[in-house]
Structure 1
Amino acid sequence: MDKLDLLQGIARISVFISLLLAFFLFTVKTENKLANRLFAWFFIFSAIDLSGFFIDASTRLELNLEIFRATACLFGMPLFYLFVLAVCYSDFRLKWKHLAHAVPFVVVNLSFLPRIYLNDTDLDTFLPSLNRMPEIYFIQILIEFQYVFYIVSVFLILKKYREIYMENYANASTSTYKWLFQITCVFLAAHSIVALKNIIRYSGFREVFLWANVLVGSIALFITCWFIMKALKHPELFRGVNSKLKLTKDILPIENENTIEAKEHQDEAADVQISTLKQYMAEKEPFLDPSLTIQDLANQIDIPVRDLSVLINHKMDQHFFDFVNEYRIQKAMSILKDQSKSQLTVLEILYEVGFNSKSSFNTSFKKYTNLTPTAYRNAS
């Protein structure tokens, strides 16, 4: 089997698996249907892009269709960007304004009309000059700019999502953020190889270019299989936050306009609220609820959620996430030191104090004590 046959074989497998995963995402029952459908369309367009490795054009019409197919890659990153929004924000909905993401695809195909799609030159004469045409250079440069734009945008979305999550939720699982961050990093690394392959295209090293294509096809196959394994192993990854939630730093500038006297009064009131909050946490132990949110706690102690957010995240200089986990760890420490509860396993203790993940519990416990739970129990 030569390199071209190997490349076509890998591409066919990748296309099949991508379409199979898209079908699964369209049909699986889930609360976040929009995210699944956007991800399914991402895989469909990935399959369309990968099909170029084994499609040959022998007529002028087939060549035009092949070029049109190649431009479909401009939908990949916009779909991934919208997918990330749909996963991160539970209230995200598609709107007419999102059609703007299709503008590059439309612009490129309009630019191809005069000299490529409507060109009636003989195919044998036209093909050798195709890759050197300004329109082809244009789409390749546009793809690179588009990729950088969406990758940066996704990283910014994830940064804000993580901050909002930690300020408003106490669930110790941040698996959604980690997974999306991993995907984005993998895409960035994979596209770097694709960009290098495109540079090699014009170097004249045909053998190296063919091997680079084999590498790209193999990476695409690996990434698709990795997605399938992740989806099967972690079905809980779709956990969104409300996009209307504001970060504390976005609220504070309004409060900073108050007078010095008003600020002193606010500080006194904050001290009283902090004392009330700590007393409530110690006596009622709301942190034992693994799904506790800042809205839940605000309702319980009868403080507006906006004020409670400022109180914890600004006045106490802690994320809500860390604030609640500190109480959980203290509770776990007391249980681990209690000889009458020595029969309890670490797994039983972490569930009892409000955690729902062993890895998250171990990470948080070591953060506060510099010891693992087992080491702390043995040292007590």
Structure 2
Amino acid sequence: MSLFALQVVLVAGAVQGLFLAVLLFTRPQNRLANRMLGFLMLLLSLQSVLVAFDTREFFLAFPHLSKVSWLLPSLFGPLVYLFTAKLTSQQPAWHRRDFLHFIPFVLCLLYLLPYFAQPAAAKLAYLSDFEKASEDDFGTLNQLLNFLHLGYTGAALLLIRKHEQRIKENFSSLHKIRLRWLRQFVWLVFGIILFGVAVFYARLWQVPWMTDIYHYHYLGVIVCIYWIGYKALSQPAIFSKVQPITQEAAEPVPLYDVRPDIQEESPVDEKEGTVAVKYQKSGLRDEAADTYLQQLLGYMQEQKPYLQNELTIQELAAAVAIPKHHLSRILNERLGKNFYDFVNDYRVEEAKRLLLDPAFSHYSTLGIALEAGFNSKPTFNAVFKKQTGLTPTAFVSQAKIPV
């Protein structure tokens, strides 16, 4: 690819990024997270232009833009992390501690401030030896920024993992578009950064053939911008507001008269708007836990709530009149399962029954999945194989083999 072609692609990506930034800034849903992502797209667009015109002639014509490309990346990692944190937060809001993530930017600015404060003549004198100025691009500051990017994106992946665990404790279905999209987004960013770091050091150490692709590694960022733009336009639901997963349901309506003697539930934290769900050893005695467990298993067997595709732990807790935090504790400690696995175990057993029932022989795999409580064929196939070691089709074939 020629330099001109590279510049065209990078500038086109910058325009796409600006368009996406405007789109995100004007979205009323999930405003805080969207604005962070929009600000990130804006910075990536500016960086794309600087990378596209990273030539001696450009910076001699615009000396005050030199080294700006050193400063902007100090915001990339923190913004990816904060975007992930706010998107997965149960109560997204801006906190004072969030300002701490901008310390790298402040430190970089202080480091570069003496250069930025110089007059144009001094910068032109520095840029006149463009080869020496280019070597400075691989100095300590940019090396530290590389690891800052990796650290922040790695931390974002840990946030997503914790979020997945919280969802499995509260939902029986994991089809939420946002989680899947967010995981893909952060992994894509992490991969681009990792490749960029490899190319960076290849150029620094003059590694053969990899040195030649240094100027093209930013194309990965352009791919990321276009991909995010596609997702934003084709799947707008990914930017909608999330229902807090710890929001308690209304006061449970007892379906059973069995009410073991327990201590009162943890009080509502008015500041955070959620109910504490930490297990308290004194909060649920063994006798009460045993009673609750039998109450739960009996209800699952008789009422089959798992047939509801979108069953949540709040709904089940209300139905069996068990406080949500006690129900979660029983599942984890007595059954060794989270809510997601607990419900889907019943769904798999129901699916096995339906697959072998002649009355349902005309049903498709998706039809069986929906009847058993699953909401999609891929989820059904994955969970069924995990539980049985067989696909639904293989299970039916094996069951028909005479023993």
- Is this a same-fold pair by TM over 0.5? yes
Q: What residue is the counterpart of 1:118 in the other structure?
A: 118
Higher helix share: 1
Q: Do the aligned partners of residues 136 and 341 (structure 1) sit closer, same or farther apart at CA in structure 2, a change above 3 Å counting?
A: closer
Q: What residue is the counterpart of 2:12 in the other structure?
A: 13
Q: 2:325 aligns with which of 271, 285, 306?
A: 306
Q: What residue is the counterpart of 1:375 in the other structure?
A: 394
The farther-off stretch of 285-294 and 195-204 is 195-204
Q: What residue is the counterpart of 2:343 in the other structure?
A: 324
* Distance (Å, rounded) in 2 between the aligned partners of 1:54 and 1:233: 28
- Superposed, which structure 2 residues align to 1:66-77 within 5 Å? 66-68=66-68, 70-77=70-77
Per-residue deviation, residues 348-368 of structure 1 (Å, max 9, x unmatched): 222222221210111111122
Q: What residue is the counterpart of 1:218 in the other structure?
A: 219
* Distance (Å, rounded) in 1 between the aligned partners of 2:316 and 2:293: 13
Cα drift, residue 208 of structure 1 = 5.8
- Superposed, which structure 2 residues align to 1:166-315 within 5 Å? 166-173=168-175, 176-203=178-205, 209=211, 211-214=213-216, 216-231=217-232, 234-237=235-238, 239=242, 241-242=244-245, 251-252=278-279, 254-255=280-281, 266-315=285-334
Q: Do the aligned partners of residues 132 and 121 (structure 1) sit closer, same or farther apart at CA in structure 2, a change above 3 Å counting?
A: farther
Q: What residue is the counterpart of 1:153 in the other structure?
A: 155
Q: What residue is the counterpart of 2:94 in the other structure?
A: 94
Judge conservation of contact 1:172–1:356 (CA < 8 Å) in 2: no
* Distance (Å, rounded) in 1 between the aligned partners of 2:322 and 2:12: 57
* Distance (Å, rounded) in 2 between the aligned partners of 1:147 and 1:305: 39
Which blocks of at least 5 consecutive residues in structure 2 are unaligned? 247-271
* Correspondence 1:355 to 2:355: no
Judge conservation of contact 1:78–1:101 (CA < 8 Å) in 2: yes
Judge conservation of contact 2:63–2:124 (CA < 8 Å) in 1: no
What code does the residue aligned with 2:337 have? Q
Instruction: Indicate the percent of aligned positions where both proteins have the same amino acid.
Output: 27
Aligned length in residues: 364
Q: Do the aligned partners of residues 376 and 246 (structure 1) sit closer, same or farther apart at CA in structure 2, a change above 3 Å counting?
A: farther
Q: 2:41 aligns with which of 40, 43, 54?
A: 43
What code does the residue aligned with 1:159 have? R
Q: Do the aligned partners of residues 4 and 165 (structure 1) sit closer, same or farther apart at CA in structure 2, a change above 3 Å counting?
A: same
Per-residue deviation, residues 221-280 of structure 1 (Å, max 9, x unmatched): 2222333444456555465654777998xx34x41xx6xxx99xx333222211110110
* Distance (Å, rounded) in 2 between the aligned partners of 1:316 and 1:189: 38
SS across alignment from 2:160: helix
The farther-off stretch of 151-160 and 32-41 is 32-41
Judge conservation of contact 1:335–1:341 (CA < 8 Å) in 2: yes
* Distance (Å, rounded) in 2 between the aligned partners of 1:94 and 1:369: 45
Q: What residue is the counterpart of 2:105 in the other structure?
A: 105
Cα drift, residue 218 of structure 1 = 2.5
* Higher RCO (C-alpha 8 Å, min separation 6): 1
* Distance (Å, rounded) in 1 between the aligned partners of 2:371 and 2:390: 20
Q: 2:141 aligns with which of 139, 142, 146?
A: 139
Q: Do the aligned partners of residues 246 and 141 (structure 1) sit closer, same or farther apart at CA in structure 2, a change above 3 Å counting?
A: farther
Judge conservation of contact 1:166–1:320 (CA < 8 Å) in 2: yes
Q: What residue is the counterpart of 2:23 in the other structure?
A: 24
* Distance (Å, rounded) in 2 between the aligned partners of 1:326 and 1:169: 14
Per-residue deviation, residues 327-357 of structure 1 (Å, max 9, x unmatched): 1122222222221222222222222222212
Judge conservation of contact 2:13–2:45 (CA < 8 Å) in 1: yes
* Distance (Å, rounded) in 1 between the aligned partners of 2:344 and 2:204: 55
* Distance (Å, rounded) in 1 between the aligned partners of 2:42 and 2:318: 45
Cα drift, residue 164 of structure 1 = 1.1
Cα drift, residue 35 of structure 1 = 2.6
* Correspondence 1:58 to 2:60: yes
* Distance (Å, rounded) in 1 between the aligned partners of 2:105 and 2:338: 42
Which blocks of at least 5 consecutive residues in structure 1 are unaligned? none
Judge conservation of contact 1:172–1:357 (CA < 8 Å) in 2: no
Cα drift, residue 174 of structure 1 = 5.8
Cα drift, residue 180 of structure 1 = 2.8
Cα drift, residue 145 of structure 1 = 3.3
* Distance (Å, rounded) in 2 between the aligned partners of 1:91 and 1:22: 24
What code does the residue aligned with 2:303 have? K
* Distance (Å, rounded) in 2 between the aligned partners of 1:333 and 1:152: 40
SS across alignment from 1:58: helix
Judge conservation of contact 2:25–2:38 (CA < 8 Å) in 1: yes
* Distance (Å, rounded) in 2 between the aligned partners of 1:68 and 1:78: 18
- Superposed, which structure 2 residues align to 1:73-88 within 5 Å? 73-88=73-88
* Distance (Å, rounded) in 2 between the aligned partners of 1:78 and 1:160: 18
Judge conservation of contact 1:172–1:361 (CA < 8 Å) in 2: no
SS across alignment from 2:363: coil
Judge conservation of contact 2:306–2:346 (CA < 8 Å) in 1: yes
What code does the residue aligned with 1:340 have? A
Cα drift, residue 154 of structure 1 = 1.0
* Distance (Å, rounded) in 1 between the aligned partners of 2:290 and 2:70: 62
